[in-house]
Amino acid sequence: MTVTLAASVALLWAAVQPRVDAQPTNPGASATAPAPRLSGLPDFTVLVEEVGPSVVNIRTVERVSRAPQLGTPDEQMQEFFRRFGIPLPPGVGPRGPRGDDDDGAGQRRQRGVGSGFVFSADGYIMTNAHVVDGAEEVIVTLSDKREFKARVVGADKRTDVALVKIDATGLKPVRIGDVGRLKVGEWVMAIGSPFGLDNTVTAGIVSAKQRETGDFVPFIQTDVAINPGNSGGPLINMRGEVVGINSQIYSRSGGFMGISFAIPIDEAVRVAEQLKAHGKVTRGRIGVAIEPVDKEVAESLGLPKAAGALVRGVEDGSPAAKAGIEPGDIILRFDGKAIEQSVDLPRIVGNTKPGTKAAVEVWRRGATRTVTVTVGTFDDEEAKPARSEPAKAAPLGLTVRELSAAERRQLKVGGGVRVVEASGPAAAAGVQPDDVIVGVGNQPVGSVADFERLTAALPKGRPVTLLLRRGEWAQWVLVRP
């Protein structure tokens, strides 16, 4: 009995011991499993002590007409509703006659709250443009509770970046980080004044980079809790460097829902330096209307991959027109920089100094060519909007006629045919009578004969693109037989 028990114990002991000579389940894996890379949750205390003194609270005051409403919203909730465009709830509004915020002249002093951070030791503070928009008075409170009236140096609404100045010296500026080193999944921290609660710290991870939600800014997406009052505060990496300015949230309820957006600090610094030097931001423009290049359009035009910006129109007299860029061109590179998506073009052009001569590589009729454009100055008010109806896929079903000499002079085209009738699916796809077809696929159309020859030679069942002129603008229509 004793021998049998000992043998059983020995067998059991051998069974539970690891097999040294056992092969790993994955033939390509090491027999020794790698140690887990995560050693625990990060400690943010050192970062708070280091960066906290550089974060400020910003209060603003503006005068608005008194409305006959009752109720008193607190000043942070007013900023919340104004920032996100939400109507005030019933019963919530300014004070009644001659309330504490009434100046006695039928005006009410409306207050807002936001955050910011020290950009330089001599008193320059960075924040969001929407925090100081419309403010008659800006008050900056430092972490040591000192208060200063601030002067708005400049604000750029397109990037939502503003620079304000206080009369103070010896401040502790933040350290600027490298957004290029920022990785998805990396821990980040925010410090700000949500709902007026100064020096509130929240943390999370980077959810995505290059998130396209604006014309000139590819946002950093995080899950850091951001609420009204956090706007303008810093987004900080684990090295204590500012990598972004907290700016927006995505929400269906008006409150934080796990998605927030920050302006990359490299974009923000570029804007702030122009605001400091000139009080405004100067951007380049070339005067084109563009749209994305999808896989089907790329294939129909012989483009190796779906990339670039499709030129749907060229503004008369614009830098692009003078350089010879044509409707239907696909811009692949601008000033040596690749255009992977159409949204890259306005950002790259906007960051180019006006007057710069830039090489532009375009795809035209199955081949690349390079033109030189002299970048103009972007003006929000003077620039013409680059809009046109979206192209729709449709089968052929068109009746066309020749263009007269007068029509060619008016449209400034050397050829083309006028659409007399667009029936059935063609009409439903957006082709209209009086549209001018100037190209079939990669081939120009000079006459009705050209149109008939080119359309007759189309491979059956293959999609084809028609280049249409409509007024000053041009657009591609992808036609599926």
Q: Which of 54, 130, 193, 260 is catalytic?
A: 130
Distance CA 214, CA 237 (A): 23
What is the distance, to the nearest Å, from the Cα of residue 353 to the centroid of all Cα atoms in its chain? 20
Choosing from 54, 101, 115, 160, the catalytic residue is 160
Q: Which of 61, 63, 57, 90 is nearest to 75 (CA)?
A: 61
**Does residue 160 carry a catalytic annotation?**
yes
Catalytic residue among 193, 231, 260, 342: 231
- The reply to whether 198 belongs to the active site is no
The answer to whether residues 469 and 436 touch, using CB atoms and an 8 Å cutoff, is yes
Based on the residue annotation, tell me whether 231 is a catalytic residue of this protein: yes
289-319 burial, b for 16+ CB within 10 Å, e for fewer?
bbbebeeebbbbbebeebbbbbbbbbbeebb
| Of residues 445, 413, 419, the one with CA closest to residue 432 | 419
404 annotated among ligand-binding-site residues: no
Yes or no: say if 293 and 308 are a contact pair by the CB < 8 Å rule.
yes
Strands 175-176, 241-249: pairing kind = parallel
215 annotated to bind ligand? no
Is 278 assigned to a binding site?
Answer: no
- Which secondary-structure segment (H or E) carries 76? helix 75-83
HSE at residue 93, side-chain half, CA atoms within 13 A, is 12
**Whole-angstrom distance, CA of residue 153 vs CA of residue 162:** 8
Is 120 known as a binding-site position?
A: no
Q: Alpha-carbon distance 262 to 213, whole Å?
A: 11
Enzyme catalytic residues: 130, 160, 231
- Which residue ranges make up the annotated binding site for substrate? 130, 160, 229-231
Question: Annotated binding residues, as ranges?
Answer: 130, 160, 229-231
